[in-house]
Every structure is written in structure tokens, then in C-alpha cells.
């Protein structure tokens, strides 16, 4: 989905196997292309591009209190969603004009006049297609090229904060933050490799409340229309469970989130069998991470604390079997090797940054088991 940007600068639900419905069946679904963001809050934009004038007002900051004034800081003219006409800058303190530019199709074209204090022109240049260029011989300045030195307020001019850009075109937005459901549609290609949206097939839906994702965001498979995953949101952040599905409807993964961070169990499946399980705390591994083979045997585990390996690190596979102690991502303590029957064959003591380590250096440290249940399949 393309990110939409607000004009701020001077220039600019469900389970596996569910089939999605045609948007025609639900008039409350809004295409995601009509959602734009301002300060990370979602708003719905108008269908038609904007034509008219817009102004950005000056803001006065006194005693940490911001107040919007009647003085303009920037003024723009648009036609069919593009900058077409004048763009004027003003000094917020005096209210006097500081520069005027002209645009055609979002590109600077025509006279640019810069003003010195108090509102007197001092530099006049010509632009063509955004480039500084020589003035054409047939172009002469006229009084109409010099606007009033102060901004002339008009009831027909909108606040620039009510405009948003999408694909370099400007639209007005609905003032209230968006509440409802959005849909992103699947893309199809014709015989000439031209792409378009298939409004009968939804790729993704998302629920919003007061401009923030709140509810389920659901992904669909464009091939068969079945749910391929969903994520729970609360107040704009992932909160709850995120589940993904394979094409046959079986679960691929389950991950718990809290405030946009992995927090809790994370499970991964292969052929409907649990293959890996982790535990997170504030987006960092915390607890024991375990891997299983297709028979449910534990083939690996590792203990973590605050994102660092702390505890035992165990490998239990056909050709390799050992368990070692770790502290802060480094081997520290006992390491036991095992044979195919699960019996200890070798013991070793490790202490970081120390030479000539003996068994006495590991005295009192946690011991791996003398016997394990071996995995030989």
C-alpha cells in the first residue's frame, strides 16, 4: 500500500478458509487508497482532486501555548490536484510577502520574485520546468505579477492542513479521523501487462477507530480468496495475536504482541506440527526457545534472559548431542557431550577470558543432566 503524505512543507476478522466478499456487498468498506495520514492519524480523502487555493497560517508560541493566527505563512493555488498558479511566502512576524513563485503541473514555471524589507522586490528570476532559465524575449512583468504585500484573506481559501498528497496529486480530507474498515485490492494484469485492481478480490482489510488501527487487520490470498493471516490491533499498535496460515488453511505461525512488540509466546508450525516455540519480553527473547522434529522430539533448546543467552544450550540431533551453559551470549560453565544412547561421553569447563581452565573453575555452576533421552530419527 502506498504511503500518503500530508502537505506540511512550503511545497509540498476471521479464520482460515474464509473467503472474502465483494466490496459491493459492504458499502462501509473504504479503499485503502482513500486513506491518508497526518501525524500518524488516518483520515479519509475526497474522491476528486483539489482545485482552489490553500493557506498555511502562522502559529504563535507564547508561554508554551500554540495559537494559530490570521497571518499567512504560505499560500498555494491548485488545479486538478496539482500546483498551478501562485505560491507565496510571508513573514509571520510582519505579515509581509517574502517570495512569490509560479507553478504549472507541480513544477516551477514563470516568474519568481524575492522581496526585501519592507515588501520591496529585490531579485526577479524566471523558471522553466523547475530550472532557473533565461527570461523569454516575449515575457514582460505586469502589475498583475505583483500581489499585495500582505495576505488577503478569502472565505474560498481552505486550510492547507486539510489537503493531502497521493501520487503527486492533492486532495481534501475529511476533518474527523477515520473510523471504519479499509480494503486493499488484488492486482491483475491484462494481455499488455498493464496492471489494475480487481475490485472483486480483496488482498487486505484493516479496522480503524478514531484514526488508528483498532481491531483486526486481515490478509487474504489473491488466488483462492482465503485468509492468509490476521493481526490484532489496539489504538494503532499490534496488541494480541498475529496468526498466519498456509495455502491449505493450516496454521503457519502464532505470535503474541503487546504495544507493537513481541511479548509472550511465538509458535511456528510445519505440516500442522509445532516446529519451534519461543518466548519474548518487550521484543527480546526471554525464556526457553525450543525446536522439535516431526515426531515431537526436542532437538534443540536455548535459554534467554533479556535478549541474551543465559542458561543451557542443548542440541539433540542424530549426529550431534551436547548441552552447555551460557552467560550473556558466551559459553560459561559446563559442557557435556552425549552418545547415541544419551550417556555422557565428555565433560568440559569453560570460563571466558581465562586460560588454563580446570574443573575447579566450574565448581558450583549448574550441571547438565548425566543422561538425556536421545533423538536418533
pLDDT tens profile 338-370: 999 999 999 999 999 999 999 999 999 999 999
With a cut of 90, say whether residue 28 has pLDDT above it.
no
CATH topology for 203-362 is: Outer Surface Protein A; domain 3 (3.90.930)
Residue 64 banded pLDDT, cuts 50, 70, 90: confident
Average pLDDT (286-308) is 97
Q: Which of 248, 234, 282, 289 is nearest to 266 (CA)?
A: 289
Average pLDDT (280-306) is 97
pLDDT at 26: 57
* Paired strand residues for 207: 181
pLDDT at 183: 95
- H or E, element range at 203: strand 195-209
pLDDT at 49: 94
User: d(Cα 113, Cα 98) in Å, to the nearest integer?
Assistant: 8
Q: Residue 224 is placed in which grid cell?
A: 483462492
> For residues 291 and 269, is the Cβ–Cβ distance under 8 A?
no
Average pLDDT (316-331) is 96
Q: How far is CA 66 from CA 58, 61, 197, in A?
A: 10, 4, 44
Q: What is the dihedral of CA 42, 48, 54, 56, to 10 degrees?
A: 10
Neighbouring residues of 195: CB distance < 8 A, sequence distance ≥ 6: 187, 188, 189
What residue has cell string 480487481?
A: 198
Task: Convert the pLDDT of each residue in 76-104 to its tens digit.
Answer: 999 999 999 999 999 998 999 999 999 99
Q: How far is CA 222 from CA 34, 72, 206, 247, in A?
A: 21, 48, 16, 11
User: d(Cα 71, Cα 90) in Å, to the nearest integer?
Assistant: 8
Give 291: exposed, middle or buried? Use CB within 10 Å, 0-12, 13-18, 19+.
buried
pTM of this prediction?
A: 0.77
Higher pLDDT, 85 or 25: 85
Instruction: Tell me which of 192-206, 247-261, 297-311 is least confident.
Output: 192-206
Q: What is the dihedral of CA 371, 375, 376, 377, to 10 degrees?
A: 160
Average pLDDT (228-242) is 97
Q: Which of 279, 274, 275 is nearest to 258 (CA)?
A: 279
Task: Convert the pLDDT of each residue in 187-221 to its tens digit.
Answer: 988 888 888 888 889 999 999 999 999 999 999 99
Task: Convert the pLDDT of each residue in 274-289 to its tens digit.
Answer: 999 999 999 999 999 9
Q: How many CA atoms lie within 13 Å of 332's alpha carbon, on the beta-carbon side?
A: 10
Kind of pairing between the strands at 169-172 and 180-189: unpaired
Mean pLDDT value across the chain? 90
Residues of the chain with CATH 3.90.930.1: 203-362
Amino acid at each position: 500500500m502506498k504511503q500518503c503524505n500530508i502537505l506540511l512543507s512550503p511545497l509540498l476478522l476471521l479464520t482460515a478458509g474464509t473467503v472474502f466478499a465483494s466490496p459491493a456487498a459492504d458499502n462501509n468498506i473504504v479503499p485503502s487508497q482513500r486513506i491518508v495520514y497526518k501525524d500518524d492519524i488516518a483520515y479519509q480523502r475526497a474522491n476528486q482532486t483539489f482545485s482552489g487555493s490553500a493557506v498555511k497560517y502562522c502559529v504563535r508560541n507564547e508561554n508554551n501555548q500554540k495559537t494559530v493566527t490570521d497571518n499567512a505563512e504560505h499560500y498555494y493555488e491548485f488545479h486538478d490536484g496539482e500546483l498551478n498558479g501562485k505560491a507565496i511566502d510571508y513573514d509571520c512576524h510582519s505579515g509581509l510577502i517574502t517570495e512569490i513563485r509560479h507553478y504549472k503541473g507541480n513544477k516551477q514555471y514563470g516568474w519568481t520574485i524575492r522581496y526585501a524589507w519592507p515588501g520591496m522586490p529585490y531579485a526577479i528570476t524566471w523558471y522553466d520546468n523547475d530550472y532557473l532559465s533565461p527570461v523569454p524575449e516575449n515575457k514582460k512583468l505586469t502589475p498583475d505579477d505583483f500581489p499585495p504585500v500582505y495576505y488577503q484573506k478569502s472565505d474560498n481559501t481552505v486550510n492547507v492542513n486539510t489537503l493531502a498528497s497521493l501520487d503527486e496529486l492533492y486532495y481534501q480530507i475529511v476533518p474527523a479521523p477515520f473510523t471504519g474498515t479499509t480494503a486493499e485490492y488484488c492486482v491483475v494484469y491484462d494481455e499488455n501487462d498493464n496492471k489494475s485492481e480487481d475490485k472483486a478480490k480483496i488482498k487486505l482489510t484493516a479496522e480503524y477507530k478514531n484514526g488508528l488501527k483498532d481491531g483486526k487487520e486481515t490478509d487474504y490470498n489473491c488466488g483462492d480468496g482465503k485468509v492468509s493471516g490476521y493481526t490484532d490491533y489496539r489504538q494503532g499498535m499490534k496488541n494480541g495475536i498475529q496468526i498466519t496460515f498456509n495455502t491449505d488453511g493450516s496454521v503457519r505461525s502464532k505470535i503474541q504482541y503487546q504495544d507493537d512488540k513481541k511479548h509472550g509466546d511465538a509458535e511456528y508450525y510445519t505440516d500442522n506440527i509445532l516446529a519451534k516455540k519461543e518466548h519474548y519480553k518487550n521484543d527480546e527473547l526471554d525464556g526457553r526457545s525450543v525446536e522439535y522434529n516431526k515426531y515431537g522430539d526436542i532437538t534443540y533448546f536455548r535459554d534467554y534472559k533479556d535478549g541474551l543467552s543465559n542458561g543451557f544450550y542443548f542440541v539433540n540431533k542424530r549426529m550431534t548431542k551436547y548441552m552447555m551453559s551460557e552467560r550473556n551470549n558466551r559459553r560459561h560453565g559446563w559442557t557435556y557431550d552425549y552418545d547415541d544412547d544419551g550417556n555422557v561421553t565428555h565433560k568440559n569447563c569453560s570460563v571466558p577470558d581465562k586460560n588454563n581452565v580446570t574443573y575447579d573453575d566450574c565448581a558450583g555452576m549448574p550441571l547438565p543432566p548425566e543422561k538425556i533421552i536421545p533423538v536418533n530419527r
